[in-house]
Amino acid sequence: MQKNHVNKIKDHIRWRAVVLGLILASAVCLVTPFNNVYRKATPLGGGHFPLAPFFILFLLTLFIAVVNRSFKRSPLLTGKELLLVWIQVVLVSGIAYTGLVRTLFVNLTAPYYFASVENRWEDILHPILPKAWYPGTQEAIINIYNGLSGGRQMGWWEVIWNIPWRAWLQPILSWGIFVFLCYTVMICIVNILSSQAIHNERMNFPLLRVPQMLEQAFDENRLGHFLANRFLVAGILASATLHVFNGLHFYFPSVPQIPTLILAGPYFPKYGLFSGFHKLKIYIYPAFIGFAFLTSKQVSFSFWIFFIIGGLLFGVLSLLGYNIPAAALGVTFGPTLAQPEETQMIGAYGVFFIFLVWLSRYHFMEVLRQAFRLGKTDASESAWFSYPLSFWIFVVGIFGIIIWLNYFGMPFGVSVLVVGACFMVMLVAMRVICQGGIAYFTVTAAPIDGLLFFLGPQFFTSIGIMIAGVAQKVLFLDLRESLMPSLLHAGKVTQNSKNKRIILFGILAALMAGVVVSFVSMLALCYKFGMRELQLDWATRTTISVYENIF
């Protein structure tokens, strides 16, 4: 009887798990800006296998295992519930930094604060900027860079009270609508596609294997045996030794350093067949080696073989006389796009997207049949809510984003293409990250770069390209901590779980709380210390380059 009761608990998600996940997610969002931006400490997020959530999961699992063993009672949380808590924290860990607020407030103040006689932004840029996007007063902009007068001596509640909320109300609401619509569309896309990836394709999720194995051992009461595995201990000791020596070397140079960076470029000629490897750097990351081990052989093999082929391509083109100057690129928004040969990435995204659509064609037909009531509605084991509801919310959300862009001045046709390009890149990136086990992913070319190459900047109009560049910078340019891959991970983690409505509520509540807490936390930090004194050089530099590229 007791065993059946425990098994029944393991199949359900209880409210205690959702509430705990919501509290921990909000706490991580609250401290992330202070930790990452002011303290310049190790990022609490920093990728699609963020450190803080896994640290929380590990300690929470150990604590509950000790409590269960000490008091011989039913588990406070099951393995599935612990994974739900973990994924709630993972979903929002990026929002408080690179996933949203790291560049957002720089984005909303840079065109006014950095306007000068030389760049003529006041004459050229300011007349076309949507007023609802930016703070209402110049004082609010100056103070966010310089800090409030006496802000360092104020307590946090006093700083929050003195933030000029009236000046920020309209831009926060305007961009809040955009973020809400984009997140809604992402949730619907993942809800529709999760069954295709998880059940139809049996996709491997390398970044989930360690948390899943940990919680499986917890549920089977063999956590001690799992942690005492000699291969696990050897791997941890090897990585720990590496980081201990290098950490001590940083503070005490007399301690020897174990090199993790190999500058292999000098071994290759600057010209000729191997010229593509002239700047080759080999980084040694134990965690990434582990993720590659957990990835399927075909995928892990393709990473390095296509890297070699890509490097050889530069040499082959050079031998054939195709030396295209970098100036031929023109204006681009890609964060790392530097050479014309790298624009192959744009075509690769398009081909991969078409392949994914073709691979899922039968699944899409089934979703459409259910959405238009042409067939029986079947519940998916991995979906949080029904396909028809997902489809129609997706349609409304997509049109909502298009109308939002069009309302602020982007031509309707351009809005359709920009939204399509952004979500095409997100869909491909989600697949690459989740199937390839890539914990740290960046795009080479920006979503609108392909449209610029094919249609030219005149197609956008001046206000259209400005809106596209700024909106893209908010959510679709830096994907190191993007939401969509974590949502697909959440679909995998919560598959076969009962109480799907509770799970959906937990995810939505965590996202809403994460956005609100992150906004307030970052604004309070900026107004207390001033952006100029914080670690926001990269965010400022890349944001200014967006506005410079617009004109």
Structure tokens given for 411: 């031509």
C-alpha separations of 90 from 15, 44, 166, 471, 507 in Å: 19, 10, 32, 24, 10
Average pLDDT on 202-218 reads: 92
Q: How confident is the model at residue 299 (pLDDT cuts 50, 70, 90)?
A: confident
Which one, of 133, 230, 29, lies nearest residue 466 by Cα? 133
Do 315 and 275 touch, CB atoms closer than 8 A? yes
Predicted confidence band at 193 (pLDDT cuts at 50, 70, 90)? Answer: very high
CA max distance for the chain: 79
- Identify which has the larger pLDDT, 323 or 120: 120
Is residue 237 exposed (0-12), middle (13-18) or buried (19+ Cβ within 10 Å)? exposed
For residue 439, the 8-state DSSP code is: S
The tens digit of pLDDT for each residue in 16-40 reads: 999 999 999 999 999 999 999 998 8
Q: Does residue 361 have a pLDDT over 70?
A: yes
Confirm if 448 and 546 have CB atoms less than 8 A apart. Answer: no
Averaged pLDDT of the chain? 89
- Dihedral (CA of 271, 276, 277, 283) sign: positive
Return the closest-CA partner of residue 475 out of 464, 484, 487: 484
pLDDT above 80 for 339: no
| Closest listed residue to residue 204, CA positions, set 288, 291, 296, 292 | 296
3-state helix, strand and coil shares in percent for the chain, rounded to the nearest 5: 70, 0, 30
For residues 425 and 445, the answer to whether their CB atoms sit within 8 Å is no
* Per-residue pLDDT, 1: 42
Q: Cα–Cα distance between 26 and 36 in angstroms, integer?
A: 16
Q: Which residues pair with 261 in a beta bridge?
A: 283
pLDDT on residue 2: 47
Q: Report the alpha-carbon distance of residue 465 to residue 125 in Å, rounded.
A: 12
User: What mean pLDDT comes out for the span 494-516?
Assistant: 91
* Position 511 confidence tier, pLDDT thresholds 50, 70, 90: very high
Among 8-22, 112-126, 205-219, the least confident range: 8-22
**Exposure of 296 by Cβ count < 10 A (0-12 exposed, 13-18 middle, 19+ buried)?**
middle
In the predicted structure, residue 265 carries a pLDDT above the cut 70: yes
Assign 322 a pLDDT band (cuts: 50, 70, 90). confident
Residue 42 CB contacts under 8 Å (≥ 6 apart), including other chains = 51
All structural domains of the chain with their residue ranges = 1-204+333-551
